[in-house]
Structure 1
Amino acid sequence: MEGYLVVAAVVLAGVLLVTAAMAVRRLLAPRAATEAGLRTYESGVDPVGAGWAQSQVRYLSFAFLYVVFAVDAVYLFPWALVLRDAHLGAASLVEVGIFVGVLLLGLVHAGRRGLLRWETG
């Protein structure tokens, strides 16, 4: 029963912290709505023109490369630190092999699309 009490205490503490934060915000936040406060604002750009605009998807390739290069580091470094543990065994090696294989597949895909070419100028 002790485990359930700990979980209940953590959940209760979380609910109390969120409730306290909302109460403090309600007490301290300004209430008068101005025209500037009600205007749509995104990414530091004031809204001008029509409400619909076509966005470019070239940044998708940068996000893709970030996932390939950063996420593998997030998972491989901790795995390499505990690699000396005898309890990991062959199953861990197979799992990491599959993970690295999927990442290499993404890297090959990026290379075939020309995303890894370094262009100067």
Structure 2
Amino acid sequence: MANDSYLPIFVLLIGALGFAVAPLALAWLWAKKFSPAKPGQSKNAVYECGLEAKGDAWVQFSPGYYLYAIIFLVFDVEVVFLLPFATAFTHFGIGECLSMLTFLLLLIEGLAWAWQKNVLTWS
């Protein structure tokens, strides 16, 4: 009886693998059957927006962009934690309110640190 309870899981696993592998296999077969390989200099050339590539594609970014993005993500995730607290505020006791106050104080400390280090100034 215990082995029969896993049968639906195995059937769904086989079905999921089939849905993942079948399109890939059909695309590979289609490419082998109907798309002959025609390598050449023009086919292997870099093509983007109808223009020839000029220069190196590597562009060096300032670390300030990344710091600005990380600060944005930290304070964006803050909303995810504050929203449930705000919606259920009336059901909380003093312990929950103190823990949320600690959380907010840590975030304010992080904002003050970022402001002191001039991470938020766009130069």
Q: TM-score range by the shorter chain?
A: 0.5 to 0.7
Of structures 1 and 2, the larger Rg is shown by 2
Q: Distance in 1 between matches of 2:14 and 2:109?
A: 43
Report whether the alignment pairs 1:17 with 2:23: no
Q: Residue 119 of structure 2 corresponds to which residue in structure 1?
A: 115
- 1:70 aligns with 76
Counterparts of residues 24-43 of structure 1 (less than 5 Å): 24-28=23-27, 31=31, 36=44
Deviation at 1:15, TM superposition (A): 6.7
- Structure 1: gaps (5+ residues): 40-45
1:95 aligns with 2:94: no
Which amino acid in the other structure matches residue 82 of structure 1? A
Task: Give unmatched runs, 5+ long, in structure 2.
Answer: 47-52
Asked if 1:81 corresponds to 2:81, the answer is no
> Shift of residue 77 of structure 1?
1.4
- Structure 2 CA distance for partners of 1:26 and 1:95, relative to 1, 3 Å: farther
Q: Which residue of 1 aligns with 2:110?
A: 106
Aligned residue pairs total 104
Query: How much does 1:70 deviate?
Result: 0.8
Between the aligned partners of 2:107 and 2:25, the Cα distance in structure 1 is 46
Displacement of 1:62 after TM fit? 1.6
What SS does the corresponding residue of 1:94 show, helix, strand or coil?
A: helix
Structure 1 runs, 4 residues or longer, greater than 6 Å off: 32-35
TM-score with structure 2 length normalisation?
0.55
